[in-house]
Amino acid sequence: MPVKDYIRKRFFPHIWCPGCGHGIVLGGMLGAIEELGLKKKDVVMVSGIGCSSRIVGYVDFHTLHTLHGRALAFATGVKFSRPELNVIVPMGDGDATAIGGNHFIHACRRNINMTAIVMNNRIYGMTGGQFSPLSGPGIYATTAPYSSIDYDFDIVELARGSGATFVARTTVYHVNEVKDYIKKAIQHKGFSVVEILSQCPTYFGRKNKLKDVNEMLEYFKNNTTPVGSQAKKDNPNLIERGIFVQIQKEEYCDKYLNVIEAASKEVKG
Amino acid sequence: MPVKDYIRKRFFPHIWCPGCGHGIVLGGMLGAIEELGLKKKDVVMVSGIGCSSRIVGYVDFHTLHTLHGRALAFATGVKFSRPELNVIVPMGDGDATAIGGNHFIHACRRNINMTAIVMNNRIYGMTGGQFSPLSGPGIYATTAPYSSIDYDFDIVELARGSGATFVARTTVYHVNEVKDYIKKAIQHKGFSVVEILSQCPTYFGRKNKLKDVNEMLEYFKNNTTPVGSQAKKDNPNLIERGIFVQIQKEEYCDKYLNVIEAASKEVKG
Amino acid sequence: MKEKIKFVQGNEACVEGALYAGCNFFAGYPITPSTEIAELLAARLPQSGGKFIQMEDEIASMCAIIGASLTGSKTMTATSGPGFSLKQEAIGYAIMAEIPCVIANVQRGGPSTGTPTHVSQGDVMQARWGTHGDHAIVAMTASNIQDVFEITIEAFNIAETFRTPVILLFDEVVGHMREKLVIPEKEKLQVIERLRTSVPPGTDYHPYFPRKDGRLPMSDFGGEHRYNVTGLFHDMWGFPTDKPEIVHNLMRHLVDKIENDPKHICKTKQYFLEDAKTVLVSYGASARTALEIVNYSRMRDRKVGLLELQTIWPFPKEIVSKICNQAERVIVVEMNMGQVLELVRANVKNPEKVYLCNRYDGNLVNIDDVKNVLRVVEGRGI
Amino acid sequence: MKEKIKFVQGNEACVEGALYAGCNFFAGYPITPSTEIAELLAARLPQSGGKFIQMEDEIASMCAIIGASLTGSKTMTATSGPGFSLKQEAIGYAIMAEIPCVIANVQRGGPSTGTPTHVSQGDVMQARWGTHGDHAIVAMTASNIQDVFEITIEAFNIAETFRTPVILLFDEVVGHMREKLVIPEKEKLQVIERLRTSVPPGTDYHPYFPRKDGRLPMSDFGGEHRYNVTGLFHDMWGFPTDKPEIVHNLMRHLVDKIENDPKHICKTKQYFLEDAKTVLVSYGASARTALEIVNYSRMRDRKVGLLELQTIWPFPKEIVSKICNQAERVIVVEMNMGQVLELVRANVKNPEKVYLCNRYDGNLVNIDDVKNVLRVVEGRGI
Amino acid sequence: MAKKVKEIIVNKEWCKGCGICVHFCPKKVLKLDKSNKAAVTDLDSCIGCKLCELRCPDFAIEVKFLDNEQS
Amino acid sequence: MAKKVKEIIVNKEWCKGCGICVHFCPKKVLKLDKSNKAAVTDLDSCIGCKLCELRCPDFAIEVKFLDNEQS
Amino acid sequence: MDSYKIVFSGSGGQGVITAAIVLAEAAVVYDKLHAVQAQSYGPEARGGATRSDVIISDEKINYPKVSSPNLLVCLTQEAYNKFSNIVMPGGMIITDPKYVVISKSDATQLELPMYDTVVEKVGNPICFNTCMLGVVVKISNMVKVESIIKVFESRMPQKFVEINIKALKVGMELVSK
Amino acid sequence: MDSYKIVFSGSGGQGVITAAIVLAEAAVVYDKLHAVQAQSYGPEARGGATRSDVIISDEKINYPKVSSPNLLVCLTQEAYNKFSNIVMPGGMIITDPKYVVISKSDATQLELPMYDTVVEKVGNPICFNTCMLGVVVKISNMVKVESIIKVFESRMPQKFVEINIKALKVGMELVSK
Ligand SMILES: Cc1ncc(C[n+]2csc(CCOP(=O)(O)OP(=O)(O)O)c2C)c(N)n1
Ligand SMILES: Cc1ncc(C[n+]2csc(CCOP(=O)(O)OP(=O)(O)O)c2C)c(N)n1
Ligand code: SF4
Ligand code: SF4
Ligand code: SF4
Ligand code: SF4
Ligand code: SF4
Ligand code: SF4
Ligand SMILES: [Mg+2]
Ligand SMILES: [Mg+2]
């Protein structure tokens, strides 16, 4: 089914600003779902609060727009209750790693079969441009008028350190990778994380004196490189793209079947 | 000053059960403080809620017994407000990594000069023996009557993945290492984490059919090995002890001095 | 399943009630004195294919049961004071998105960490007002083990009927004391199942358009109907809007469905009220002390009666004012600084005739406490 | 510093007030419509050596300001609805441990995510009862930019005087509208500094033993006196206890210090009340609409007056009952479903003469809203 | 990708004029018109890479092929 | 560590009889007495390693040296 | 004098809110008038359609919102469609034909090519909002031009002040024509 | 019949709570009596000093706590010191001299070497609490021994049932002596 059949057309043009990267993520995500041939009724999309989280309003699945930072906790309830559903959780960088950091690391730890997509624009877009745990030092933001001193998380490392079994990263510039990694993430049996560098021209761009959205996409093009590439060795400042973690580990809902079995025996026995 | 001069003797014997490892951590921690020659008035100890958190009641410093999981957030306020104080934060495994997981990773990220001591008995002692994010699969607990299916965090990896600049691990059996690592952690300029495997004979021990506290300490002795040792290569199941991360990175309060400087210029200029 | 007689804690009776009502999903985080609910469900739920999950904190637990409820599960969480405070934001979400679920709060002494192992009834007002913004809520309680069982079933029934979170406001004494419990055979007690939409697939389904009787049939996530659920004000399809009329009407709907017809929700127990000159109003564990005194007084021919509240919210105004206005004096017996007292006073003609007998030191209101107040207000000296 | 005239938002006036009062530590997490408070303090605090930190969430922010306060800083955080719900547990901690701090809640439409950019006054009751267990709280509000400035200073003063968290319950309209602000020169307005202990080093200091005047002198963490601070019930040294007498007395102390002598805390503004037959009771942005109507009515020789509440908690019972009992009718003008209405009703002789003019659709109560209610209750038809 | 492009459809209602499609079109096929919407200048140069469509944040541009295999 | 041990003091009020000191004393110097408190059986064998003191969770045992250098 | 009410409307990046604030600030700080400025937001705080209300008066202003403005500025079609009917009888609507196609209205409608003119005369489109402010200052006639300039001086670096004064004057002249 | 009130006290690991529950459960489930059991906790839920109250009656029991018990069992000195004075006039205190040194009291005091006897006769100290329960069953005389045994059977694996019955009887015999 064409990608556009997955969207709720009546809400278009969407709420996002001109040039906002979140729309590109939406496209890539739907491309992945389309290629996987998922039925609309089998997909539940769960989000928190933020510009990025508004994404669920635009897709014609079961959609759950929850609380800031809590999407993965809601999603855990959905998935653990109905493991046969495909649960996809698009999140903002603030949503995923600031207020939602704890749910993020615990989802990584538990290895429930869901896909978290971190739409990382390195800023709180929805609330008007405060720095996020992914902004990094030196970035200007409304709450960092003298530039930020906060170190940033590396989501890949955070997810890895928390035990995630699939972790990938790319940028909206690399839109085919977006589709590809999300597809692989959904196919992965276990918890998967895809970080997608995205742009907020309205706040991140303006505050940091970036000329326009194209300058932001050029940045993604010029400052990233496939993981393990020679380029990275030559220039350690490059950000790596690719699949960083991909391991098989028994999935949580599957493991719970063992609990049910043990418990049922106890009752009978 | 002798270690015992750092304790509030009037509350002894303490509240912990016979054989509880938390008392050994207390001893090691005070040993470290004593060797560093810290003045009582220069130390603030902040804890959350749990058996482990009761530790602050026994030490003659400025002591702040806060909310379950929130110790590092309170401590951040203390330290950022008065960077000249030594802030030490003993935490339970639940306290640090369950409800407190978000504050833990953000403390690692910010690199504020404080020391977190995770007293890891792999169980919620205070509430009577539920499994924790550090229990690991196969462990019995009151909320895991058929044994736990939850994967555990590796605190060292979690801290590393969150950006911590000093991370060490040992066990209460290795009591001299406890002292030594805590000492180094306090000396480290930046956020430091010391995980100390500790025992809860009352709940973890009983639920998991361990004969007595000595069997638990024997476990620490026999199933751990110094980081990078040959033993680990021969037996990958061994838990490594040692200092895993030790890097220099500008400290948060120090960096804030730059903000103050920039801001003051703006006012004058 | 045949009738069963057990000797159990209040917390266990709550578990039995939940299972009887069809609860098949629990997410929680341990906290004294509610932990036994989680522990028992960890053992019991998987025995019949239900799901138990220990989450990273109370917030996550609350969110998880909302998510699970949307897929069609009957869900519950349990907590106490500090955890109840943490859940408030997500409780508000369940109110706004109209998701059935049950939250047990086994009350302990507060504020803050307070006295974790001691009893209190200090969260009465928080149950009503703990989350931000206008809203309505259902909160119920019980004073003995059998009632805990039945009220828990009732909580699930109300949650399903009104698509609302329901709070079980137990207390440490009732949660931890053991007493006889008779579990009736299946179907003896009414269990209300979720009302699911009959709108056929492919037809426009309105998850947020109440039927004539005020109920909103649900469609499980994963089913044929796809719609949106949000904590923002929303239209009948569940999509965000800030149109003033829609906001206004949704607010009215959320409150009216609970408060307009409280008869269906409000439960009380009445002892010796027909001729009572002194009415004790009480609930939860304190009602046990109150009842003891009623019996004691009646043996001495004193016309004392007890109105035991089982529904705290919506506050049973009509019953309270009817009964209290008939009495010469009213004594509210509770374990806080007078939270229900104020509610009773606000609903009677002579508030100055409403007295308080309370305790907020971590202990159950005792017999002498009530005797003394009774003696004083009846003018028999202390 | 000389007097300054500025044209600012309510949120900026709050910042100016905080700085005037000596606030030197802010921890927060952005949320509409309070974010400007954080943004402005991020720029302003370091200019004078103060500290601004953006925390990972609202819970951490609340905890951080408590920790910082203990070291001697004057601390503040700011939030709105959902964030205010999240802070409730830690607010209870500040109450229990008696830590001075200020929490601004710039109210938006709720429950849940609600209408983030629209106005509401729906958190009045939550401010009082949002955290678990019995307790008392101070909450203040203001209807114009100058008052926001002054009330913010007052909030810091009360926090220091009573060792208590103080809540600033602003609303989106006042937070975002711009108006003239006159910042008086330093020392023109009273700023109360923390009372620090005079007990010499080496002597037994009791952080939780009130002086005769009820105040508890503090000793900064890092200072000569070492003691314990906890959210458990505690003795006069701050060490945990569950002894019933101590628990009881601490509860009484926590409540009595705020509620026993509300004169020191309760502030109102009164307009044309001497001969008012119709009294409007209002606060925050709604009081602006009410005042407009008072002026309008007076021009038509109708005896309408306004009682504007600046302190919401402790509720100014005495003033409200005195003024309302004199009136023929009372209209509460507010932006919720009647939260202050119920408080007024509970404190007057004839509750049936207290009417409500409200709006809970995200918009400011407008002039016609009040005119219409006024016309109806004055019997002039609609 | 050697397929022949039939047309490039811009949904002017949805296009927000961000210019991403224009800037990154490898063949400079597109421009922003004076009402700031994407427009085709040189369909013939189009190689049908579809990057404009994929990168458009607004689902506002669609590349149609002659053989109709790809929509 | 070659210092001479003068005495090993057990604070019986604080000792909870966990047995850790007994079990892990390299020289089996200690035992639990019949009221379940640590007690010294063989002071002479003690090598003054202080592990009993350091591992005691209850601060209940103290190893004193003759030369008083270490308390 | 009664109060004068203005509604500025447009979209996120057009600077309508700044213009509104500058006007009201000039009135309050330099002309010793009373003024309030209020605004409406989209979801949370991000961009999108914007509206800012200003009331200027020589008396204290209580109710801060404008229901029927004396003067309405619409810089997008969306804004025009939404608000053009709220203008008070006898009031005026200002639009720029580059952005808005007007329709029938009871109000006086003034179509001014502010964008093109400012680009032409000042050479910088970011002063568009200042040009619009010039129009409003001229038409409303409540606030002194010098006061507006003082606000510029207190708020921006010198190099911007000049170009903005230029744009302001361009706007004022547009009206005169 | 009036109600009979018992307070069991001791420390965490001694199983006093289990004993109390077994007694009350036997009364309720098998002897059709009314009973409530309540207990007090240390901080949160962890070990430490323990107290469990049991009331057995043939009428409905309302107030569930015991202020003056007919029978008090103290298995630690701490418990004895704390509670020995609450026994009702004419009531009885049971202690084990292994753990408790008794002092003067108005109550009848029964010192029984329960621990040593159970170790000697059953060979397993973990049945100590059952032995104590035997003592209580005998003295209180409210509940049938068979009912207690039925509770054992419903709660424990068969192999434990026997040894516990043995311990129960040892306790009962201790009283007879
Ligand atoms: C509990 C709570 N705190 C704060 C907010 C305010 N808030 C809404 S979205 C957001 C951050 C948005 O940033 P991000 O997650 O990065 O998403 P983006 O808008 O950048 O896509 C914040 C702080 C909220 N809605 N709820
Ligand atoms: C908000 C909140 N949730 C839950 C609790 C209950 N609680 C107290 S301590 C604790 C866990 C203790 O485990 P851990 O942190 O590992 O410390 P330990 O007791 O094992 O030393 C829990 C769940 C609480 N006090 N507050
Ligand atoms: S504010 Fe930023 S993140 Fe939000 S829609 Fe606009 S560009 Fe996107
Ligand atoms: S319960 Fe466990 S952790 Fe707590 S004091 Fe006892 S042994 Fe230690
Ligand atoms: S990328 Fe899309 S929205 Fe942007 S200019 Fe091109 S068609 Fe328009
Ligand atoms: S398909 Fe490729 S070449 Fe053709 S217009 Fe789009 S981006 Fe340019
Ligand atoms: S280790 Fe300490 S508490 Fe344990 S037996 Fe030895 S002296 Fe006693
Ligand atoms: S000092 Fe060493 S050798 Fe001596 S008793 Fe202690 S553990 Fe044993
Ligand atoms: Mg973002
Ligand atoms: Mg633990």
Distance of residue H33 Cα from the nearest chain B Cα, in angstroms:
31
Is G130 within 8 Å of G94 (Cβ atoms)?
no
Give me the residue spans of the domains in chain F.
5-65
Q: Across all residues in chain H, what is the average pLDDT?
A: 92
Atom of ligand 8 nearest to the CA of F55: 7
Q: Which residues contact B37 (CB under 8 A, 6 or more apart)?
A: none
Each residue of F12-65: pLDDT tens digit? 999 999 999 999 999 999 999 988 999 999 999 999 999 999 999 999 999 999
Going along chain H from its start, the domains and CATH numbers come out as 4-176 (3.40.920.10)
To the nearest whole Å, the CA of D340 is away from the closest chain A CA by 28
Q: What is the CA radius of gyration of chain E?
A: 11
- Laid out side by side, the sheet with D268-271 consists of D268-271, D304-309, D278-282, D329-334, D354-358
Average predicted confidence (pLDDT) for chain A: 97
The CATH number given to D266-378 is: 3.40.50.920
The most confident of the ranges A168-182, C252-266, G47-61, H80-94 is A168-182
Structure tokens at H40: 């007090």
Residue with the smallest CA separation from ligand 8 atom 3 is F46
The answer to whether the CB of C317 falls within 8 A of the CB of D114 is no
pLDDT score of F1 more than 50: no
pLDDT of residue G1: 52
**Is the N-terminal amide bond of D100 cis, ω within 30° of 0?**
no
Reading phi first (left if > 0) and then psi (alpha if -120 to 50, else beta), residue D50 is in beta
pLDDT of residue A267: 83
Q: What percent of chain F is predicted at pLDDT more than 90?
A: 79
List CB contacts (< 8 A) between G38 and chain D. 173, 176-178
The residue-averaged pLDDT of C145-167 equals 98
pLDDT of residue F71: 46
B66 CA to centre of ligand 5 in angstroms:
52
- Dihedral through CA A136, CA A140, CA A141, CA A142, nearest 10? 140
Whether residues B175 and F18 touch (CB distance < 8 A) is answered with: no
Closest CA in chain E for residue A31: E54
Per-residue pLDDT tens digits for C44-99: 999 999 999 999 999 999 999 999 999 999 999 999 999 999 999 999 999 999 99
Helix A101-110 and helix C58-70, axial crossing angle in degrees, nearest 10:
70
The mean pLDDT of E41-48, rounded to a whole number, is: 95
- The DSSP letter of residue H84 is G
Length of chain A counted residue by residue: 269
The single-letter code of the amino acid at H107 is: A
Residue H1 has pLDDT above 60, yes or no: no
Please check the confidence at residue G176 and state whether its pLDDT lies above 90.
Answer: no
Residue A174 tokens, joined: 């690399």
Spatial contact of A167 and A143, defined as CB atoms under 8 Å apart? no
The pLDDT of residue G146 is above 90: yes
SS3 H77: helix
CATH number for C1-261: choose from 3.30.70.2860, 3.30.200.190, 3.40.50.970, 3.30.1330.60.
3.40.50.970
D179 CB near a chain G CB, below 8 Å?
A: yes
Q: How far is the centre of ligand 9, averaged over its atoms, from the C-alpha of A125 (Å)?
A: 5
Averaged in consecutive runs of 10 residues, what is the pLDDT profile of chain B (269 residues)? 92 95 98 97 98 97 98 98 98 98 98 98 97 98 98 98 98 98 98 98 96 97 97 96 98 98 86
pLDDT digits (tens, 9 = 90+) for D9-60: 999 999 999 999 999 999 999 999 999 999 999 999 999 999 999 999 999 9
Half-sphere exposure in the Cβ direction for C133 (13 Å, CA): 37
Q: How far is D136 from chain C (nearest CA, A)?
A: 10
> Taking all residues of chain C, what is their mean pLDDT, rounded to a whole number?
97
The pick from F30, F32, F54, F64 for probing ligand 8's pocket by mutation, whose C-beta has the most ligand atoms within 8 angstroms, reads: F30
Q: How confident is the model at residue C118 (pLDDT cuts 50, 70, 90)?
A: very high
- The Cα of C116 is separated from the nearest Cα of chain B by a number of Å equal to 10
| H15 half-sphere exposure, CB direction, 13 A CA radius | 14
**Separation of alpha carbons B35 and B25, rounded Å:** 15
**Pairwise CB contact (< 8 Å): A142 & D54:** no
> pLDDT tens, B51-70?
999 999 999 999 999 999 99
- For ligand 3, pick from A14, A15, A17, A123 the residue to mutate: most ligand atoms within 8 Å of CB: A17
With a Cβ cut-off of 6 Å, ligand 8 is lined by: F 8, 25-27, 29-30, 46-52, 63
> Residue F2: what pLDDT?
56
List of residues 6+ apart from H171 with CB closer than 8 A: H114, H118, H130, H131, H132, H133, H134, H135, H136, H137, H138
Q: Which of D30, D43, D113 sits opposite A130 (nearest CB)?
A: D30
Residues B160-176: tens digit of each pLDDT: 999 999 999 999 999 99
Cβ separation G45–D179 shorter than 8 A? no
Closest CA to D105 of C133, A133, A99: C133
- Which tokens sit at H95? 């202690």
Average pLDDT for C26-33: 98
- Taking CA atoms, what residue in B is nearest to C61? B99
C372 contact H CB<8A: no
Residue of G109, G106, G143 whose CA lies nearest to G26: G143
Instruction: Tell me, yes or no, whether chains D and E touch by having 3 or more C-beta pairs under 8 A.
Output: no
* Residue E71: band (very low, low, confident or very high) from pLDDT cuts 50, 70, 90: very low
Contact criterion met (CB < 8 Å) for B77 and D231: no
- Test site for ligand 4: of H11, H41, H44, H46, most ligand atoms within 8 A of the Cβ: H46
Look at residue H64 in the predicted model and tell me its pLDDT: 96
Is C361 in a helix, a strand, or coil? coil
Where helices occur in A82-165 by DSSP H, the ranges are 93-97, 101-110, 155-161
State residue H46's pLDDT score.
Answer: 65
Give the model confidence (pLDDT) of D56-112 as tens digits: 999 999 999 999 999 999 999 999 999 999 999 999 999 999 999 999 999 999 899
Helix (H) / strand (E) containing H148: helix H145-155
Q: How confident is the model at residue A83 (pLDDT cuts 50, 70, 90)?
A: very high
Superfamily of domain B17-268 in CATH is: Thiamin diphosphate (ThDP)-binding fold, Pyr/PP domains (3.40.50.970)
CA distance D251 to chain A (A): 33
Ligand with the closest atom to the CA of E8: 6
Which among E17, E59, E71 is the nearest to A27, CB-wise? E59
On whether the F5-65 domain is CATH 3.40.50.720, my answer is no
Degrees (nearest 5) of the Cα angle A222, A223, A225? 95
> Atom 8 of ligand 5 has which residue's CA nearest to it?
E15
- Residue spans of the domains in chain A: they are 17-268
Q: What is the tens place of the pLDDT at every residue in A222-243?
A: 999 999 999 999 999 999 999 9
Residues with beta carbon < 5 A to ion ligand 10?
Answer: B 92-93, 121, 125
D and C touch with 3+ CB pairs <8 Å, answer yes
Please answer whether residues C332 and C355 qualify as being in contact, where contact means their C-beta atoms are separated by less than 8 angstroms.
yes
Q: Find all residues with CB under 8 Å of D375, minimum gap 6, and list them.
A: D381, D382
